[in-house]
Structure 1
Amino acid sequence: MDNRINFHQSLDQLQETLLHMGKQVESMIFQAVDALARQDENLARRTIEADDQIDEMMIHIEENSLRLIALQQPMASDLRIISTALKIATDLERIADHAVDIAKICLRLNGEALVKPLVDIPRMAELTQAMLRESLLAYTERNVHRAATLAEKDDEVDKLYSGLANDLLKLMGSDIAVNRQLTQLLLTAHFLERVADHTTNIGEGVIYMVTGKRKDLNI
């Protein structure tokens, strides 16, 4: 009985670390886009530096998950909980990488005046942050319905990305410097679109954890 209690306490600690990681990653998305919008190079560098802490949490979650599997020999339902935590941590780590990618774009632009005011990119960032919060709520609540609704929000991000891509491509002409900046903004939108995809991956993980069945939300 004591072993079982310790096991569930370890699962709770694993979830706590995962949620802390999620909050840090959400903050990184906000900071990266805010740094780009305001051309704040110091904030961009702080965002890049924050990735080290995310990597450390990823390693911590991996080690604890593998230890639980090796020492506790969990049942099928518990094994799904552990494997889902590992998968969510992987998606969070990749989202953090995309936040770093956006922060690096801020540094790359080196204080240039933006050719196009940032409207759709901050909106995409807000949506992806909301999706991330929703996906982690679905995880803590074991809520399959909440997880499934991420597909609709992902569609909204995809539409914003498609519209913005068309707008940016239309602005491209013979000015190499302008084209370079527009390409960087297009990359930023692409990274945010990938963030949305990773949050739907988290939703898929939640559905599998609860039901034992796999569902594709990125259709």
Structure 2
Amino acid sequence: MMAEHTVKAFDAEITSLRGLIAEMGGLAEMAINESIQALAKGSLSMAEAVIARDARLDKLEAEVDRLAIRIIALRAPVADDLREVIAALKIAGILERIGDYAKNIAKRVSRIEERTRFEPLTLIPAMAEMAADMVHDVMTAYAARDAALAVEVIERDAKVDAFYDSIFRNMVSFMVENPSTITSAAHLLFVARNIERIGDHATNVAEQVYFAATAEYLADRTERPMN
């Protein structure tokens, strides 16, 4: 009876841990989408809401840390269960950083002047959509322990990087042609860089999902000779 109770308690803790990670993923994705909407619309109120909500992500990360440490200390998980807990710990930190990047984007909304003059601004939402989709899909992979989807998300990061390079070239040309816009354009370059980093962090989550699902690191997988 005691063993059965212990197993049920452990299962409940793992379920809670996964629920916290899922909530963090949802908040991170929302922060990306709303920060870009705020940027496109010039909505300071929406930007302020993104900034204020970031505190919830910080709190959830702390909850994940506490719960994961409790599980390790009291349950001494091994094999699949230990990978699950370690992956959750790492993923929580990554999602918190994604929230920070979205917050940084929101903070720049008030610094973009004469936004109607910025043709490059029309490219940023498309890039952000790609990055947000990566976050959404990697959280789907996490929920399903879908290693194949995790790999697919990682492969998509190259498109986000290429988009960033295109925006960078476009923005530099725009600044050369319109010197009066340099300050605002520089802020938009930082926005694009933040989006590129979000894509990088989505790949980091995907690597943890892959490890939790397969007990292999992607680097080990790719370094093996083909049969």
Give the TM-score normalised by structure 2. 0.91
Larger radius of gyration: 2
Partners of 1:87 and 1:54 lie apart in 2 by 14
- CA RMSD after TM alignment: 1.6
Match of 1:190 among 181, 188, 193: 193
| 2:118 alignment partner, SS class | coil
Match of 2:218 among 207, 215, 218: 215
CA shift for structure 1 position 74: 0.6
Is 2:164 the counterpart of 1:165? no
Match of 1:56 among 32, 41, 59: 59
Could you tell me which residue of structure 2 aligns to residue 206 of structure 1?
Answer: 209
In the comparison of the two structures, how many residue pairs are matched?
216
Q: Which amino acid aligns with 1:17?
A: L
Partners of 2:202 and 2:63 lie apart in 1 by 21
Could you tell me which residue of structure 2 aligns to residue 180 of structure 1?
Answer: 183
Could you tell me which residue of structure 1 aligns to residue 127 of structure 2?
Answer: 124
Change (3 A) 1:174 1:165: closer
Could you tell me which residue of structure 2 aligns to residue 79 of structure 1?
Answer: 82
Q: Which amino acid aligns with 2:117?
A: V
Contact 2:35 2:105 in 1 (8 A): yes
Could you tell me which residue of structure 1 aligns to residue 47 of structure 2?
Answer: 44
Change (3 A) 1:156 1:174: closer
- Pick the structure with more helix per residue: 2
Gap runs ≥5 in structure 2: 222-227
Give the TM-score normalised by structure 1. 0.94
| % same residue | 31
CA shift for structure 1 position 88: 0.9
Q: Which amino acid aligns with 1:151?
A: I
Change (3 A) 1:149 1:174: closer
Partners of 2:53 and 2:174 lie apart in 1 by 34
CA shift for structure 1 position 151: 2.2
Partners of 1:173 and 1:165 lie apart in 2 by 12
Match of 1:115 among 102, 114, 117: 117
Deviation per residue, 1:46-83 (Å, 9 max, x gap): 11000011111111111001110011111122111001
Contact 2:38 2:47 in 1 (8 A): yes
Partners of 1:154 and 1:99 lie apart in 2 by 17
Match of 1:139 among 137, 142, 155: 142
Deviation per residue, 1:182-208 (Å, 9 max, x gap): 111111110000000100101100111
| 1:74 alignment partner, SS class | coil
Is 2:128 the counterpart of 1:91? no
Deviates more, 1:113-122 or 1:171-180: 171-180
